[in-house]
Amino acid sequence: MKHLQASEALHIILEAVRTPGTEQARLEQALGRVLAQDIRANRDLPPCDVSAMDGFAVRSADVANAPVILEIIEDIRAGDMPRNTLAAGQCARIMTGAPVPPGADAVIRVEDTQEISASVVQINKAVKPGNDMRLRGENMFIGDVVLTAGTEITPGVIGVLATVKAAQFAVYRRPRVAILSTGNELEAMDEPVDPNKIPDANSYALMAQVQALGIEPVLLGIARDDPLELEQYLWRGLEYDVLLVSGGTSVGVHDYVRPTIEKLGVIMKFWRVAIRPGHPLAFGMLPPTKVPQVDAVQGASREPTQAYLEDRQGGEQRVTPQCAACGTLVFGLPGNPVSSMVCVEEFVAPALRRMMGNPRLYRRTVTARVAHEVKFCPGRTEFIRVQLTRDEAGYIASATGTQSSGVLLSMARADGLLVVPANSTGLAAGAQVIVQLLDGTAFQDEIGFSE
């Protein structure tokens, strides 16, 4: 298979994505989910014209020649209903949010008045009709669509949902994601430190990337570079909507991941993408009819992990019709920790966000000036881990040290990924660049850079 450009690979992945259906969410648990239905206003809000200030409700014609003296006929507090209609020469003391009484057409704030007695006030300012009033329906009218399907639920959206009394509503389901590390050299978290081994960082780094999207993945553990053992682990992983396998996808004689995935029925869509780091990325799909549904794992040579067993116990959800219709998306990620994280950022996360119905698939990008020269990497889109600082002219991006794909600290220190297009001939210090922000929760619907 040929080396794909990053955009071609992303296109193939996004084409393959199906959303695993919808479910009901309660308002209290909905932050970060995506609405799968339109939400309409259930009343006019405000329900009538109300005061925007503490002050006096007046007839604007009465105060045209301010200062004038008016009679105070009642006090109206928020939550009260006015009892009287204002006649000429009358006003009502009114609090913010209280209904403006019939006859009144404006509010004068208390700072522009002078109280003479409990029943008489001097109004010092002329105002136009509608002054300091919030008109009926200013927020919404009954029946208005106030939120559309596809809206990501932020705290502001939660406030609107509460306003229309939507205690429960349809959201997109979150895909179920399994993560598998592979390699004889890997040492699990609970194993004693062996100086000849490499700690399994990927399971946890990838887990955290998936968690950051609001999905709780299942860690399947570590499969050794043994075709049979790998097969058993992969078979478990294929029960999920998305399987992330790191390591073993390259061209080494013990890189069994791709042939084994194919043996299990996964149709490989591509292998190798013209990016750095992360080029041995592989992507395939298991057709829905082949997704293992029940205890398909037989004769596993290692015990299944606790996380897997716990997930299986609450696992009936997996076999919902919507879900089974999706098949399994399989990402064969490079073993180098930075490479696998970059691949998750660039390819897996957009797919997961689309599965969750979110139209904003991509990290927010900013423009910056690069602090130093950048050598080019012909034909590949390069992602450089950078720290961002600011001066009066904007952001400055500086590499976080060595860009070796094995050095995770450079990722830990990064605020963003500077994108060097594949057709770049190198960058001089001070050149304008695009940086994808790695922190925060802000996403955008356009990718923000070209190859």
For ligand AMP, the binding residues (CB under 6 A) are 181, 183, 185-186, 198, 200-203, 246-248, 250, 252, 334-337
Q: Which is nearer to ligand AMP, 19 or 202 (CB)?
A: 202
Identify which of 176, 149, 135 has the alpha carbon closest to the alpha carbon of residue 317: 176
Q: What binding mask, one character per residue, do residues 39-68 give for Mg ion by CB under 5 A, x or -?
A: ------------------------------
If binding is defined by CB under 5 A, does position 248 make contact with Mg ion? yes
Q: How far is the CB of 183 from Mg ion (least distance, A)?
A: 4
Size of the site for Mg ion (CB under 5 A): 4
Q: Which is nearer to ligand AMP, 92 or 207 (CB)?
A: 207
Choose among Mg ion, ligand AMP, none what residue 336 binds, the Cβ cut-off being 5 to 8 Å by kind: ligand AMP
Say whether 405 sits in a helix, a strand or coil: coil
3-state helix, strand, coil in the chain (%, to 5): 20, 30, 45
| Binding residues for Mg ion restricted to 168-197, rule: CB under 5 A | 183
Q: How far is the CB of 340 from Mg ion (least distance, A)?
A: 11
Q: How far is the CB of 412 from Mg ion (least distance, A)?
A: 22
The whole-angstrom separation of Cα 392 and Cα 367 is: 14
Query: Residue 334 has which token pair?
Result: 């490079």
Q: Which is nearer to ligand AMP, 250 or 436 (CB)?
A: 250
CB-based closest residue to Mg ion: 183
Q: Which is nearer to ligand AMP, 51 or 260 (CB)?
A: 260
Q: Which is nearer to ligand AMP, 247 or 416 (CB)?
A: 247
Choose among Mg ion, ligand AMP, none what residue 407 binds, the Cβ cut-off being 5 to 8 Å by kind: none
Choose among Mg ion, ligand AMP, none what residue 202 binds, the Cβ cut-off being 5 to 8 Å by kind: ligand AMP
- Which residues pair with residue 374 across a beta bridge? 427
The whole-angstrom separation of Cα 9 and Cα 15 is: 10
Q: How far is the CB of 279 from ligand AMP (least distance, A)?
A: 11
Say whether 332 sits in a helix, a strand or coil: strand
> 183 near 335, Cβ under 8 Å?
yes
Q: Which is nearer to Mg ion, 237 or 248 (CB)?
A: 248
The whole-angstrom separation of Cα 216 and Cα 311 is: 10
Angle formed at CA 217 by CA 213 and CA 220, multiple of 5 degrees: 150
Q: How far is the CB of 335 from Mg ion (least distance, A)?
A: 5
Choose among Mg ion, ligand AMP, none what residue 334 binds, the Cβ cut-off being 5 to 8 Å by kind: ligand AMP
Say whether 400 sits in a helix, a strand or coil: coil
* CA dihedral of 73, 77, 82, 84, whole degrees rounded to 10: 0
**DSSP symbol at 173:** P
H-state helical runs in 286-348? 306-313, 321-324, 337-343
Q: Which is nearer to ligand AMP, 55 or 237 (CB)?
A: 237
> 187 near 197, Cβ under 8 Å?
yes
**List of residues contacting Mg ion (CB under 5 A):** 183, 247-248, 335
